[in-house]
Amino acid sequence: MDSSEKEGSGATGSLPPPPPLPPNVAPIKAEYEPAKKVLRVPMARKGLGSKGQKISILTNHFKVNVGTVDGHFFHYSVSLSYEDGRPVVGKGVGRKVMDKLHETYSSELAGKDFAYDGEKSLFTVGPLPSTKLEFPVVLEDVTSDRSASPDGNESQKERERKILGRMHPPKTFNVEISFAAKIPMQAIQNALRGQESGNSQEALRVLDIILRQHAAKRGCLLVRQSFFQDDENNYTNIGRGVLGCRGFHSSFRATQGGLSLNIDVSTTVIFQPGPVLDFLLENQNMRDPQYLDWSKAKRVLKNLRVEVRPSNLEYKITGLSDLFCKDQMFSWKQKSMKNENGEAETVEITVYEYFVTHRKIQLAYSADLPCINVGKPKRPTYIPLELCTLVSLQRYTKALSTFQRASLVEKSRQKPQERMRLLSIALHNSNYGAEPVLRSCGVSISSNFTQVEGRILPPPGIIAGDGKAFAPKNGRWNFNNKRFVEPTRIESWGVVNFWPRCDVSRLVLDLMRCGEMKGMHVDRPFGVYTEKNENGRLSPVGRVDKMFDEMKSESNVSPRFLLCVLPNRKNSDLYGPWKRKNLADSGIVTQCMAPTKFTDQYLTNLLLKINAKL
């Protein structure tokens, strides 16, 4: 097929040429109009509220003043790579490299301090000497060594590195810094006046990055804009080797009153620091190490960081040894013994014998326990368990159990006065006045809580069955001698009991009596089902499924409503599976309860919820 046939197909041919212009016509060039940028402004509020009693309240905002507003933040893109050109992807390495760069090349950076976000962005107040800079940076030891003793023996550390196969040569990184954008500091001034502008959020982001960098240099664990310090006073045990760790959220906010620093208490969960064996016993709720599940321990410990004594070096756990310390063999080059070629003799020796006999380190309980492996899959490096200590501030990212969640909520609760005291301490300890980048842009932060005007709104009234409205007293509504406005009827219902000590017969009678007092008609339940003792050892989902199977086998009634008695208040593992089985799988209305005793007040509150659901 020739070219003319291809064009005739209509699929691959080009457009026909434009018609020729008449000789007296001059073409007019069309002018390009750039698309107009959509201006986004905050929605205007209708006005200020006026109801209620006015009061003065203190907020967890601290007023911010900015001395310099004429300059610019300069945004630079940062690219980190190894000497062979591979990009750096490991977290935590970037900050070490950039700290070393600032220390080594301060003059090449014109003495400027910068704010680095830990990834690919860097900000300065004013420009760097060039729009593109490249630096080689040499790090002696890339692994974390923040917990080492400052007066430790350096030669001992070097020997430890050799013994553990970690004597890596210094690593060289290539750093490229390229100009990306300018952000006017005038945007901060607009925020001070309570005005939003196109660059306000970018400018506030820069200030927040400065806060993150400041916290990182103080050794804090960073979780977005929340910072957590290694302080035992901030820890609370929530069970199974997991600790709640109290920290602080800190960020700049543009408010109607101007720019402010918002500080609040924050909480995360971390692994319990300390001896590895203590953690494993707590994690598996055991007292004797011989009963530990080592396959489970291996999964839990993998990728956690440990500090090894006596050198105080940190390593990442890659696994556990297959054999106990007294049986686990490894090949050791004994320099005192030479073979016929003059090379060090390689001997097979147990980990226990090596540390006790040749390292002269006494081991109290490691002989009959597996070793910690901090090496590579093809080249394991074994360390006795009792020489390893879990490093602090390692986040626990798995789902918490119901008990752990309830414990964390309970222990994190604080009264306003206590929270104010902690926030004042946090602001003082943060010492933002010493942060060089904040100082260079003239940012100062007040140490006083911002006072604003608030209003106490009147409580809503409730209408009872007699048509009369009544108000609460001391924050409580009293439903004694009052009936529901629209009482429903509880019919085709059953009781499921997971708590053997509950007197279900009395519960049903009291519920029927209390319902009659409130105008509700409560039929007798079609069945009461108490969990069998042998089912109590099943998983929560299995216990719920067994209960449904028993109900179906004993009754043909399709329940409209099920009342469930749980064994524990607030933290029962049965609550979630029970709700899912009823609401999602079966479409049955249900109400859970976990009473210590049945009072009319408790049953009235219970009937209020049931009446609303039905």
Name all contacts of 87-91 with Cβ < 8 Å and 24+ positions apart.
Answer: 88/173, 91/118
Instruction: Give the mean model confidence (pLDDT) for residues 342-357.
Output: 85
User: What is the CATH classification number for the domain harbouring 297?
Assistant: 2.170.260.10
Dihedral sign for Cα atoms in the order 294, 239, 304, 156: negative
pLDDT, tens digit (0-9, with 9 covering 90-100), for 255-288 = 888 889 999 999 999 999 999 999 999 999 999 9
Write down which residue in 390, 413, 429 finishes a domain.
Answer: 390
On whether both 555 and 597 belong to a single domain, the answer is yes
Are 461 and 69 in contact, with CB atoms under 8 Å apart?
A: no
Q: Judge if 284 and 359 occupy the same domain.
A: yes
Are residue 210 and residue 153 in the same domain, yes or no? Answer: yes
Residue 153 pLDDT > 60: no
Q: Is residue 550 included in any domain, yes or no?
A: yes
Task: Write down the pLDDT at residue 154.
Answer: 43
Are both 590 and 511 inside the same structural domain? yes
**Does residue 358 belong to any structural domain of this protein?**
yes
Residue 341 shares a structural domain with residue 465: no
Q: Do 233 and 104 have their domain in common?
A: yes
Residue 486 has pLDDT above 80, yes or no: yes
Is 64 part of any domain?
Answer: no
Give Cα 495 to chain centroid, integer Å: 39
Same domain assignment for residues 343 and 412: no
pLDDT band at 254; cut points 50, 70, 90: confident
Same domain, 363 and 378: yes
What domain range includes position 592?
486-613
> Please, what is the average pLDDT of the chain?
86
Q: What is the CATH number of the domain that holds 521?
A: 3.40.50.2300
The pLDDT tens digits of the residues spanning 73-127 come to 999 999 999 988 888 887 778 999 999 999 999 999 999 999 999 999 999 999 9
Cα distance between residue 349 and residue 329, in whole Å: 5
* Residue 58 domain-assigned (yes or no): no
Lowest mean pLDDT among 136-145, 517-526, 563-572: 136-145
Average pLDDT over residues 236-242: 95
Same domain membership, residue 496 and residue 438: no
341 lies in a domain? yes
In the chain, the number of structural domains is 4
**Is residue 337 predicted with pLDDT exceeding 70?**
no
Average pLDDT over every residue of 305-313: 90
Q: Which of 326, 324, 345, 323 is nearest to 334 (CA)?
A: 345
Percentage of the chain with pLDDT > 70? Answer: 89
- Say yes or no: 265 and 153 in one domain: yes
Higher pLDDT: 210 or 537? It is: 210
Residue 558 is predicted with a pLDDT of 87
Q: Assess if residue 542 is contained within a domain.
A: yes
Closest CA to 234 of 420, 416, 415, 412: 412
- 429 token code pair: 């300890």
Assess if residue 59 is contained within a domain. no
Residues contacting residue 307 through CB under 8 Å, at least 6 positions apart = 147, 313, 314, 388, 389, 390, 391
Which has the higher per-residue pLDDT, 493 or 347? 493
Contact 139, 101 (CB under 8 A): no
Nearest to 582 by CA among 558, 603, 554, 611: 558
| Confidence band of 340 (pLDDT split at 50, 70, 90) | low
- Specify the range with the lowest mean pLDDT, choosing from 112-116, 420-424, 500-504: 500-504
375 and 284 both lie in a single domain: yes
Q: Judge whether 126 lies within some domain.
A: yes
Model confidence at 151, pLDDT cuts 50, 70, 90, reads very low
pLDDT digits (tens, 9 = 90+) for 4-49: 444 444 455 677 887 887 877 777 777 777 776 666 666 777 778 8
Tell me what pLDDT residue 152 has.
37
Q: What tens digit of pLDDT does each residue of 155-203 get?
A: 445 555 544 444 456 889 999 999 999 998 888 877 667 666 667 888 8
Residue at 241: amino acid letter: G
Q: Are 85 and 199 contained in the same domain?
A: yes
